[in-house]
Amino acid sequence: MRFYVRDPVARRAAYVEFLDDCRRVRDGLRPNRVLETDIYITRRCNLRCSYCYFREYFDRPGHTPPPDPSFADLKRLLDRIEGNTYCLVILGGEPFSRDDFGEFLREARRRDIYSLRVSTNGLYLRSKREVVPLIDRLTVSFDCTRSAEYPQRMQQLLVDIVAAKEELKEQFPCLCLAWTTARHDDFQRDVQPLLDYAIAHNFEVKFLPVKIGRQVDWAAHQRIVEQAIQYAPPGTITNNPEHTRRLGSDFLITNCLQGIQYYIDIRGQFLYPCDEFPDQVVGSVHQYTLGHLFDVGVQKYGVFPKRNSVCGQCPSGCHSDNSYIFRHPETQLADLE
């Protein structure tokens, strides 16, 4: 996903640096900053959604669940990350469930990181509204499957989002509603009402594929995204139409770029090349720099993507999406102008 920078001075600096990194990628070099670094700051969550990727990837049988990182751990993590990424993506579990979440965001804002993006279920927006202005882009999960599992909470969530925006006004972050597509989704019945809501309140919508046993029905996902792009005004849907149209194993393998995104699990372990390989742990970010860990990953596991691996039937497309941004940077650069 493209990164968003609220501060105009930082936005201009990011433009210059990102343009230079796009040239580096074009020339076959690694960027000085990766597009984003994904971190997991908690396992705790106030929902138990049936399609939760966190449990499937990191809480599998035979794996002892690690404790949440301490605040000191997170500060050391920021020491390593700052200056190396355009966007810090904060994941869980539910990040807002941490009592020190506001303190962590304030610490991150003081670092050399252009953009903070938080992925959340949104249910803490009412009780922890004071920390929301510290975020550049807030990604709130909302889709048909979750609405069926938690109907009252999801309806209240839509009310709470608008209330937070009206109260915070210009301090309210760029908000993106993240819809996880499923085979049973019907566009008019399920998706169109959310698009009407997003259009009315000037929110973005991002469509993600649902992973059932780490398999994706790409055709169903593409159908929903294409219908949404045709229905909504330009700028509402963040999915790139050309990227979406070409989703599939062959395109993902040829499009993915190494070294443009970093993944760090809840233990502070560097995952190579991405979190579709949660067992390919390279080493601790608390002990080594990100660049060193990436190089060790290449030496230990080889060059990716590989056809005879998860890449051959990638159930995500997220890394490919970010690779596409570096290969076709026009829209991201327009966001920074």
Q: What is the pLDDT of residues 3-20, one digit of tens each?
A: 999 999 999 999 999 999
Residue 239, classified by CB atoms within 10 Å of its CB into exposed (0-12), middle (13-18) or buried (19+), is: buried
- pLDDT at position 291 over 80: yes
In three-state secondary structure terms, 189 is: helix
Would you tell me how many other CB atoms lie within 10 Å of the CB of residue 228? 24
Structural domain boundaries enclosing 222: 8-336
Using CA atoms, how far apart are residues 136 and 5, in angstroms rounded to an integer? Answer: 6
**CA of residue 243 relative to chain centroid, distance:** 17
- pLDDT at position 273 over 70: yes
Which stretch of 134-143, 209-218, 288-297 has the lowest confidence by average pLDDT? Answer: 209-218
**Structure-token pair, residue 175:** 């908000």
- pLDDT at position 86 over 80: yes
- Which CATH number goes with the domain that contains 201? 3.20.20.70
pLDDT at residue number 19: 98
- pLDDT at position 53 over 90: no
- Residue 1 in domain: no
CB 121 within 8 A of CB 140: yes
- pLDDT at position 61 over 70: no
- pLDDT at position 30 over 70: yes
Pick 8 or 217 by higher pLDDT: 8
Using CA atoms, how far apart are residues 177 and 237, in angstroms rounded to an integer? Answer: 10
- Residue 2 in domain: no
- Residue 180 in domain: yes
pLDDT tens track for 134-157? 999 999 999 888 888 889 999 999
User: What is the average per-residue pLDDT within 53-69?
Assistant: 71
**CA of residue 332 relative to chain centroid, distance:** 15
Cα of first residue to Cα of last residue in the chain, in angstroms, is 17
**Structure-token pair, residue 286:** 């608390």
Using CA atoms, how far apart are residues 186 and 199, in angstroms rounded to an integer? Answer: 19
- Residue 128 in domain: yes
Helix %, strand %, coil % for the chain, to 5? 45, 15, 40
- Residue 3 in domain: no
In three-state secondary structure terms, 76 is: helix
DSSP 8-state class, residue 337: -
pTM to 2 decimals? Answer: 0.95
209, containing H or E segment: strand 204-209
- Residue 46 in domain: yes
Of the ranges 91-95, 209-213, 312-316, the best mean pLDDT one: 91-95
- Residue (of 218, 275, 224) closest to 250 by Cα position: 218
pLDDT at residue number 157: 96
- Residue 66 in domain: yes
Mean pLDDT (the chain, rounded): 93
Which stretch of 131-140, 245-254, 257-266 has the lowest confidence by average pLDDT? Answer: 245-254
Q: How many domains does the chain have?
A: 1
| Largest distance between two CA atoms of the chain | 51
Helices 151-168/192-201 angle, 10° precision: 10
- Residue 283 in domain: yes
